[in-house]
Amino acid sequence: HTHVPTPPYLDERIDSLDAAIEWQDETVAELRLGAGDTDGEGTAQLGKVVETAAAHVSKELLKGYLPQLVDARRELLSREREQSAVRLQLAEAEERLRDQANSVELAEREFERRLAKQRQSAQLEKSSLLRQMRPAHPATSAES
């Protein structure tokens, strides 16, 4: 299976999603670092809040971007199918073109063969006519 380049708008969508996920990861990391400064039960509580917030943000991001990614992937697959169909049509057209070129070449050879045969036949006929026009005996033609 050949690699199909990703359309620019799809790259932009993927970059947006990557940036959003990166931001979310950084935010979670910062919250965890801040949680490490406190101690005891407050740390555990803050950790749960961070995890819950991170899960919620992740879900919201996925809800927002997943349909776009699914649509983009469907479009990419559709384009790949279209490209495959076009490649197949191109291969078929090339095959027809080769067949036509072979037919033309065959017709040219047949034409050359017939032309050579006609020339040979015309040359034989010309020689025959020239023999018929010559007198068989020079003495016979002088008497007439």
Paired tokens of 111: 């034409």
pLDDT at position 16, please? Answer: 81
Residue 66's pLDDT band, with cuts at 50, 70 and 90, is confident
The structure tokens listed for 25 are: 């990861």
Distance CA 110, CA 98 (A): 18
What's the Cα-to-Cα distance from 43 to each of 27, 95, 96, rounded to whole Å?
Answer: 17, 73, 75
Q: Which residue, 15, 14, 18, 5, is CA-closest to 76? A: 5
Instruction: Decide if 57 contacts 25 (C-beta within 8 A).
Output: no
Confidence of residue 144 (pLDDT cuts 50, 70, 90): very low
pLDDT of 101 over the 70 cut? yes
Q: pTM of the full predicted structure? A: 0.42
Average pLDDT over residues 59-67: 73
Q: pLDDT tens for residues 102-120?
A: 999 999 999 999 999 999 9
| pLDDT tens string 13-51 | 777 888 888 887 777 777 666 655 555 555 565 566 666
